[in-house]
Amino acid sequence: MMLTRRTLLASSAATLAAGALPAFATTPHSFKHGAFEVTVVSDGHLTLPVSMLAPNAPPAERAALLQAAGQTAEQYNSPTNITLIRTASDLILIDMGSGDRFMPSAGKLWDNLKAAGIDKAAITKVIFTHGHPDHLWGAVDELDDVVLPDATFYVGAPEWDFWQGDNATRGLPVERAGFVTGARRNFAAIKSKVKMYKAGDDIVTGLRAIATPGHTQGHMALALAGGEGLIVGGDVLTHPLISFAHPEWKPTADHVPDVAIETRKRLLDRLATDRSKLIGFHLPYPGVGTVERKDGAYRFVTIG
């Protein structure tokens, strides 16, 4: 998510007035998928300005979808759903949440895992979809110590290169400099334990990386084998109505909007064709569902 510090402060103050979305469960949601046991754990939620949601879309159509989503206030709550995958030999976390320094309503992952009786020390691998604060900043604690010192961290090579390189700061509004500083701080802390991955790589057997650029330059989704497939979509599809009905609209959080549109359309087509399950990081908790074609576009159908 792309935000300024000022919006963040305003957002926090407006939390109670935020638009309605389902409550954020603290109880993990688990199900079997092929050889894997999948658990979605909430990291809490972000409170964001509604103005981030496709501000340049046709106003009447946009207003109707926001109304349907219950997002008529100036702020809305965006869930943050983290996926945990248990294999025969690994416990794999996909993204690490916001940690302590992004928003007070987020950074609940470790508490929610503990409450569910899951020992975070048992996590062997962490795979990052991208380097935004709500996905990466949970890598370190408030003292900048690595939260999972024994895990191996998988970072997409193009994402690593983006945040480390000059392109991360080139043309960046000064208010967003904190995103780059934060990404570099977290990546530096885990650097000795990082393994780079690229699209097409199998992190473990049956868990393959898919190139899904646009939201960030090196954004990756993960495809889990079994049944009709399951895709952990990261931030390709972030809104339960807009992302599906209007993949061509441009949320301000996307770094490369035109590429993000192509990626959304490609992933939606794949999900609808294959009837795969989707886990959406910002979709209403637990963010698990399927995608159907509707009126020349798509719709998200929640499962359980």
CB-wise, 100 or 292, nearer to Zn ion? 100
CB-wise, 187 or 294, nearer to Zn ion? 187
Query: Minimum Å distance from CB 150 to Zn ion?
Result: 26
Read off the DSSP letter of residue 19.
Answer: B
Comparing CA positions, the residue from 294, 295, 290, 301 lying closest to residue 267 is 290
CB-wise, 86 or 101, nearer to Zn ion? 101
Query: Minimum Å distance from CB 183 to Zn ion?
Result: 13
Rounded Cα–Cα distance for residues 110 and 238 (Å):
23
CB-wise, 211 or 225, nearer to Zn ion? 211
Rounded Cα–Cα distance for residues 132 and 2 (Å):
8
Query: Minimum Å distance from CB 1 to Zn ion?
Result: 5
**Judged by CB under 5 A, which stretch of 9-17, 126-134, 147-155, 166-174 contacts Zn ion?**
126-134
Contact characters 101-120, Zn ion, x per CB under 5 A: --------------------
Rounded Cα–Cα distance for residues 290 and 31 (Å):
15
Query: Minimum Å distance from CB 58 to Zn ion?
Result: 25
Query: Minimum Å distance from CB 135 to Zn ion?
Result: 6
Query: Minimum Å distance from CB 189 to Zn ion?
Result: 20
> Residue 254 interacts with Zn ion (CB under 5 A)?
no
Helix or strand (DSSP H, E) at 155: strand 152-156
CA 174, 100, 167 angle in degrees (round to 5)? 30
Rounded Cα–Cα distance for residues 35 and 152 (Å):
21
| 44-60: burial string, b at 16+ Cβ within 10 Å, e else | bbbbbbbebbbeebeee
CB-wise, 134 or 159, nearer to Zn ion? 134
Q: Total residues at the site for Zn ion (CB under 5 A)?
A: 2
Comparing CA positions, the residue from 217, 224, 176, 184 lying closest to residue 203 is 224
Query: Minimum Å distance from CB 281 to Zn ion?
Result: 5
Q: Is the Cβ–Cβ distance between 163 and 209 less than 8 Å?
A: no
Q: Helices 177-190 and 157-164: crossing angle, nearest 10°?
A: 120
Rounded Cα–Cα distance for residues 237 and 294 (Å):
16
**Judged by CB under 5 A, which stretch of 83-91, 113-121, 133-141, 160-168 contacts Zn ion?**
133-141
> Residue 235 interacts with Zn ion (CB under 5 A)?
yes
Query: Minimum Å distance from CB 80 to Zn ion?
Result: 7
> Residue 159 interacts with Zn ion (CB under 5 A)?
no
Q: Which of residues 258-277 bind Zn ion (CB under 5 A)?
A: none
**Judged by CB under 5 A, which stretch of 26-34, 104-112, 230-238, 239-247 contacts Zn ion?**
230-238
> Residue 134 interacts with Zn ion (CB under 5 A)?
yes
**Judged by CB under 5 A, which stretch of 147-155, 164-172, 202-210, 227-235 contacts Zn ion?**
227-235
Give the phi and the psi of residue 33 in degrees, each rounded to 5.
-140, 110
Residues lying near Zn ion in the complex (CB under 5 A): 134, 235
